[in-house]
């Protein structure tokens, strides 16, 4: 993934036609050629709804609480830098899910 636009950055989960209780647990691992940049724990217990994904998706911010605890995703990711993104789930989200990086296009 190459970060194209400006911060603030957030990872989002988009779910098409959500049914029932959202339940998942895992982590996002960001790497560059120098090694692991960050390991970010994610969980359905720690998401915030968002309304800026496509109208056919329900959006959930995966990394907002991490930001609220002092670790800012914008301090980890940098514009025009490329990262390998690995998403590892101990408990899978719905099969109709997608991962998004939210940023600002100035």
pLDDT tens track for 28-46 = 999 999 999 988 999 999 9
Q: How high is the pLDDT of residue 53? A: 87
Q: Does the reported pTM lie above 0.85?
A: yes
91, two tokens: 């408990």
What mean pLDDT value characterizes the chain?
89
- Answer whether residue 70 shows pLDDT above 70: no
Higher pLDDT, 7 or 18: 7
How would you classify the pairing of strands 84-91 and 35-43?
unpaired
> For residue 58, what are the contacts with CB-CB under 8 A and spacing of at least 6?
14, 15, 16, 18, 49
76, two tokens: 């980890």
Q: With bands split at pLDDT 50, 70 and 90, how would you rate the model's confidence at 66?
A: low
Q: How high is the pLDDT of residue 5? A: 95
């Amino acid at each position: 993934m190459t970060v194209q636009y400006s911060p603030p950055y957030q990872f989002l989960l988009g779910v098409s036609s959500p049914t029932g209780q959202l339940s998942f647990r895992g982590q996002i691992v960001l790497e560059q050629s120098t090694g692991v940049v960050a390991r970010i724990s994610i969980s359905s217990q720690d998401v915030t709804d968002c309304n800026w994904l496509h109208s056919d998706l329900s959006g959930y911010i995966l990394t907002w609480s991490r930001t609220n605890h002092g670790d800012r995703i914008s301090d980890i990711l940098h514009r025009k830098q490329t990262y390998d993104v690995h998403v590892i789930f101990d408990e899978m989200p719905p099969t109709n899910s997608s991962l998004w990086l939210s940023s600002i296009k100035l």
